Amino acid sequence: MILNAPLQVFWCLTDRCNLHCNFCLSESDSGTRMHELSVGQRAVILDELITHRVLKVYLTGGEPLLIPETVDYVERLKEAGVFTVLTTNGVLLDPSVIQDLAGQEIDRIQVSLHGGTLETNDAIMGGPAFERILDALGWIREAGVDLHVKVTLTRENATELPRLIRSLAPFSPALVNVSELVATGRGFENYETLRPSLETLASVRKEIAALRDEGFNVSFKNHSLASAANGRPGTCTVGSGRASSCLILPDGNVTPCTPAHVWGLSNNVLEHGLQGAWHRLPLYREFLAPEKLQGHCKACDVVEECKGGCRAEAYLYTHNVWSEYPGCVRIPHEEKEKTS
């Protein structure tokens, strides 16, 4: 690795959640499937983040506020000068918690909202959330904390997106971050039902451009449109020595990205330390071997550029790490149906 330690860490404190979003990358719900660390074990990880001078930490999950010590982690990180972000569904935020976070000078709170109406949002998020989230947004605004709103774009909420974003105006979010659904976790289980068409994505892109003209700060991550425009999938960089960020899972395992957990490699920060686990991430390069790819990928003239697309996603679809990438625009339609 070029860097001795990551600059940015996404620390998933738990895989438990009080909601049940139908697109959830980590399949979080009220039950615990992954070993959750003890208070003492999480304290070790916190010390590692501070000792190795990580510049930016996202406290995430699951729902991080289900961990009672989360607010204390914010305090410790801020005392150490770490840029600290809490990513939450917002339901457990109340004026007291927000004032505590503001008092600790948290740098940002990112709240999820996925529908322009109560009915759509709560159907997507799997529980009563819409009104509680709007209350939380108001309290964050009053506390003067930098606010980002996260929206996952699916077939269910695409037509409501302009309404949703305009409804956020009273809360003055610094950014509304719209991301296309990703085929991981429950997002993979429900992908065929939830994924927007290319036509819908193109329409949303135009609507977002119009919203920007109105003064709304909106970002839009859309891998499907980018793949269609480039004529190939995005390049998989798993295990890259040039990485600057990583993910710490609820059991302490360190991966380069969320989908990479499907490989089940053991790389725990409690065993190797943050720096040791960071330097072991190139182990994931074994899953990037274009010469081993099968199907259409094997003879494709751009395979050295894309490396076969997301290898974890290909594995989820076929249980074969070297299978062709099912999301590739170069695979004939009838062939993609066979691999789906």
Looking at per-residue pLDDT, the higher value among 139 and 295 belongs to 139
| Cβ contacts of 200 within 8 Å, gap of 6 or more | 155, 158
Q: Please report the pLDDT score of residue 32 as a whole number.
A: 61
Mean pLDDT of 159-172: 97
Confidence of residue 165 (pLDDT cuts 50, 70, 90): very high
HSE-CB of 314 using CA atoms within 13 angstroms: 22
Say whether the peptide bond before residue 239 is cis (omega within 30 degrees of 0).
no
HSE-CB of 101 using CA atoms within 13 angstroms: 31
Over residues 43-55, the pLDDT tens digits come to 999 999 999 999 9
Over residues 75-101, the pLDDT tens digits come to 999 999 999 999 999 999 999 999 999
Mean pLDDT of 160-164: 97
Strand partners, 149: 111, 176
CA angle centred on 166, ends 128 and 17, rounded to 5° = 25
Nearest Cα residue to 202 out of 149, 156, 158? 158
Confidence of residue 339 (pLDDT cuts 50, 70, 90): very low
Residues written for the chain: 340
Residue position matching structure tokens 């039950």: 31
Nearest Cα residue to 25 out of 60, 57, 59, 49? 60
Query: What is the pTM assigned to this prediction?
Result: 0.94
Confidence of residue 34 (pLDDT cuts 50, 70, 90): low
